[in-house]
Amino acid sequence: MKRLILVYNPRSSHYLRVKEEVVDRLRGLKGWMLGKFEVADTDVDDNACRLAKILRDGDVVIAAGGDGTANIAINGIMQSEHQNIRIGVLGYGNFNDMARTFGKLSLDEIMQNVGYAREVWPLECSINGKHWRYGMCYFTIGMFAEACAVFDHPKTRKALQKGKKSMFFSLSVLVRWWLKQRKKHCFMPEFSLGDLNGNFVTSKGASDYMAINGRTVAKMMRGGKYSEQKDCFLSATGVMTKFWPLAIMMLRSILKRIPGEESNYDCLIFRRPAKMMFQAEGEYKMIENVSMVEVRKSEKPLLAIMK
């Protein structure tokens, strides 16, 4: 019998909708063995490792939740040694960049198209020469990554659980945080950015580095269809601590595309080991003693159920 593994987070802001629209509906699914993987209150890496251990050849994985839940599912699949595992994503988060990159399919559309999965290529990020995490849509380092923590504040999460999920509400939360934090400390120390040919350019004053692989970042900023390309992503650095550079970058990102250069490999070298915030798909982590960061496309593809 075919196996379907549902990945969901019972503590998420929109879990009641997930339970009603996905969990309860899948209970009566015929011809499938249904397995449920509840995201534990630990971290992405622990959950991905546990998920990888239960996956088998030919499984279909459905991630129902926000981008963090989908990121756990993708990292679990990429870490698994099994083959032909397909993934579908149902967006029940605040931004749903992952679901948007895969075409925003409904549950019925995912089940109808399980046999037509396509190859996509996640990003892979290594820190100090060691694999850290896979990311389908984007990686960020610096101020943008730290801003994600604001949505885990108890008051903000409570408001989201009560239904305040509009873009205006999310933006107002971010603006208030930015006004308080923009002058407090250096989000990224000076670094040199290099390519596969060993060419390095020193970046001074940048508060952020971004590697974009998906169609959107934080829902409103435009990326591209880089996930469908084997060896190309969008690389960008920016100054988000100053109003005008930030305003110009955001306006261009919303109306056209995030300003940056296409790359097949990025290497960030820091003059001194530093402490920085890293983020992938809205999941963030403060990492110490960072001296080198590498971003490239994964060596193996992911099979995505998508439009």
Dihedral sign, Cα of residue 259, residue 261, residue 266, residue 271? negative
Please indicate, yes or no, whether the overall pTM of this predicted structure exceeds 0.75.
Answer: yes
Q: Contact, 188 vs 141, CB < 8 A?
A: yes
Q: Determine contact, residues 198/121, Cβ cutoff 8 Å.
A: no
The string of pLDDT tens digits covering residues 211-230 is: 999 999 988 899 999 999 99
CATH 2.60.200.40 maps onto the chain at 124-297
Encoded amino acid at 83, one letter: Q
Beta bridge partners of 30: none
- Residue spans in the chain of domains classed CATH 3.40.50.10330: 2-121
In CATH terms, is domain 124-297 a member of 2.60.200.40? yes
Specify the CATH number of the domain 2-121: 3.40.50.10330
The continuous run of DSSP H or E covering 118 comes out as strand 118-120
Q: What is the pLDDT of residues 108-150, one digit of tens each?
A: 999 999 999 999 999 999 999 999 999 999 999 999 898 887 7
Q: What is the mean pLDDT of each run of 10 residues along the chain (307 residues)?
A: 95 92 92 96 96 97 96 98 97 93 96 94 98 97 87 65 60 80 82 94 91 94 96 95 91 95 97 93 93 97 95
